[in-house]
Amino acid sequence: MTTYTALSNRIRSATTREELAKREEQLDRHYHAGTITAAELSRLDRIIMDRIFFILDTIRTNPTLTAP
C-alpha cells in the first residue's frame, strides 16, 4: 500500500472534524518529509474538504445528530 493510499483510507474513515484536522496535520508532515508530492497533497486535501462538507451536510439534514 502506498503512502497516498494509506492516507486516503484514513481520511475516508474519519467521522469527525477533529479527526480530519489530525489527518490534515499528517498530510503536512508527510509532505515536508517528502513522502507525498504536491499533487498528492492537493488531491488528499480535496478529499478532506469533501469529507468536511459531507459531515456538515449529514448534521444539517439530520437534526438529531450533534456537531462534533
Give pLDDT tens digits for 26-67: 999 999 999 999 999 999 999 999 999 888 877 666 655 554
Q: What is the pLDDT of residue 63?
A: 57
Q: What is the pLDDT of residue 37?
A: 96
**pLDDT exceeds 70 at position 3:** yes
Q: Which of 16, 1, 10 is nearest to 47 (CA)?
A: 10
**pLDDT exceeds 80 at position 19:** yes
Q: What is the pLDDT of residue 51?
A: 92
Other CB atoms within a 10 A radius of the CB of residue 55 amount to 19
HSE toward the beta carbon, residue 46, CA cutoff 13 A? 6
> Whole-model pTM?
0.81
